[in-house]
Amino acid sequence: MGTESISAESRSIVRSNSDTQAERFKLLKGELDSRVQARIAKGYWEAREVEASNSDLFLAISWRGSDRFWKALAWQKKLAAFEKARSALPADSRPDRNVELKTAARALNDRFLPKHAGPYAMEIFVFYKTSNLAPAALVQMAPGCVQAFIEAPLHTYFLIGRHQAAVDKGEKLQFTGFAADRDTPRDAAGLCALVLKKIFPKEPPVVEPDKPRRCWPCYLLGGLALALIVAAACVAVVPSWRDWAFRQLDIGRYSQLDELGGEVSALRARYDSLEAEVDELTQDLPPDGPVDQAGNAAQFASIELELDALAARLAAHGHPVADRGVPLGLAPCLPVVSTGSANGGAPGYLLDLTLSAEGIGVAEPRGVYAWSTADRLDPDFPTALQLPGRTLSSAEFDAFAAPISQQARRANCAHYVLLREGEGGGGASYIGQRNAVERHFYIYRPHP
């Protein structure tokens, strides 16, 4: 939709309201400037360089923040998830809160050590909705936000924003695309409160090193543990000792486990090699080009069955193999949003996936599951996410999802996705597609 599509009658309506809008944004700028100065006067842990400018059609706000700003946003998200998980536990079984917070703060500090120091730029544009006709400035600036403007309530403030996401040292700073904010304040006070919350998030606690304490019983236990480790190493090195030890423990001969472990290692190497070949083949294809990977998919399924069988044999001999899927218990990467349910909210969903006979459909979540501004601002949100725009086979989906899930695991979190079922493609096809999704994401199956 361009400005040429606005009718002459509509333009006359906009011009009749321009004086009122200009005065509204002028007063709003004055109130926001006053509140920002009051916040800075109280003292704050980092300069923000907040600037605001008003026009006849909108209010523009910008500020800067270092990596500490992004760390504060991440801390707010982790703190909300922490409090939600803690409240779900019985009161008599909750661990010490201060110890848990200190551990979480230390992990967050380590996670941001490789980040570029900044400064990072953030921008917000505020419009006031008096009709369902999108302002020409909004249409030209962010056409992708026009539908959200139309769906927003009348006589509320409508916000769009973009930002420079936190990146590792040496990476180039880039602005994201404009995104509409879910919150639509009705008065100036609510708008100022919302903007101040975005500009001045609460700083995470300072991580102080633990004071060393002398613990003689600990030294004694440490020496005993070291002796046991040395004894175990001797048993492992000397063949006759280790065979005797395994016979006594009724586990089986160590040489058999060695042989079985070598078989698993060889099969894993074969699996990784095939996965790399499929990934390379997928990258060389045009974005919309068809590809027949039925043979590769069959090989993947066969290798998965062999790996599961070998893992079961190893577990029976007391030598379990680690799970290859997403570990259970990871916190959600995207913020947890509140809902009206008694048990709290749900995580932000990264993708909307549909299983069908043609393959796995990949789309951006819509409606109540759509990405929020908090999702896009979050450091764990993959800013380089590019949807394929076509249905993927299980092997192609593995290649698409692997970098995303690996990035999430490095941040010690997991992404959630919506999983829907389309027209069936048979039991074997469904199981293969479902396994491909669950190797990388936690799933939620929404009701129709």
pLDDT tens figures, 370-425: 988 888 888 888 877 889 889 999 889 988 998 898 888 888 899 999 999 876 65
Token reading at 5: 């599509």
**Where is average pLDDT lowest: 53-57, 125-129, 200-204, 234-238?**
234-238
The stretch 353-378 carries a mean pLDDT of 88
Helix residue ranges per DSSP H, 285-352: 294-316
Residue 442: pLDDT above 60? yes
**Where is average pLDDT lowest: 120-124, 190-194, 433-437?**
433-437
**162 — pLDDT class (breaks 50, 70, 90):** very high
Token reading at 158: 């409508």
Co-location of 266 and 187 in the same domain: no
| Cβ-proximal residues to 218 (8 Å cutoff; 6+ apart), any chain | none
Amino acid at 298: A
More confident residue, 278 or 36: 36
What is the overall mean pLDDT for the chain? 78
Co-location of 256 and 151 in the same domain: no
C-alpha neighbours within 13 Å on the C-beta side of residue 427: 0
In a domain? residue 195: yes
Boundary of a domain, candidates 173, 199, 225: 199
Co-location of 297 and 348 in the same domain: no
Distances (CA, A) of 288 to 33, 279, 283, 352, 361: 50, 16, 12, 19, 13
Percent of the chain with pLDDT over 70: 70
In a domain? residue 231: no
The rounded distance, in Å, linking the Cα atoms of 382 and 350 is 9
Co-location of 163 and 273 in the same domain: no
**280 — pLDDT class (breaks 50, 70, 90):** low
Token reading at 247: 């016979």
More confident residue, 38 or 423: 38
Residue 201: pLDDT above 80? yes
Report pLDDT digits (tens) over 301-312. 666 667 666 766
Co-location of 7 and 124 in the same domain: yes
In a domain? residue 65: yes
The rounded distance, in Å, linking the Cα atoms of 376 and 378 is 6
More confident residue, 265 or 156: 156
Residue 188: pLDDT above 80? yes
Co-location of 119 and 24 in the same domain: yes
DSSP 8-class letter at 384: T
In a domain? residue 207: no
Co-location of 62 and 126 in the same domain: yes
In which domain, by residue range, is 271 found? Answer: 251-316
Residue 1: pLDDT above 50? no
The per-residue pLDDT for 146 is: 95
The per-residue pLDDT for 189 is: 92
Token reading at 280: 């390379």
Residue 185: pLDDT above 70? yes
Boundary of a domain, candidates 163, 178, 199: 199
In a domain? residue 343: yes
The per-residue pLDDT for 291 is: 41
Residue in this structure with the two tokens 């923040």, named with its chain if needed: 65
In a domain? residue 345: yes
- Number of separate domains in the chain: 3
Co-location of 343 and 295 in the same domain: no
Please state the separation of Cα 156 from the chain's center in Å. Answer: 30
Q: Which of 125, 134, 147 is nearest to 14 (CA)?
A: 134
In a domain? residue 246: no
- Taking a C-beta distance cutoff of 8 angstroms, is the pair 103, 205 a contact? no
Co-location of 368 and 296 in the same domain: no
Co-location of 106 and 158 in the same domain: yes
The stretch 309-320 carries a mean pLDDT of 64
Note the maximum CA span of the chain. 96
Co-location of 77 and 175 in the same domain: yes
Boundary of a domain, candidates 316, 339, 372: 316
Co-location of 159 and 55 in the same domain: yes
In a domain? residue 99: yes
Residue 60: pLDDT above 90? yes
**326 — pLDDT class (breaks 50, 70, 90):** confident
The rounded distance, in Å, linking the Cα atoms of 397 and 356 is 13
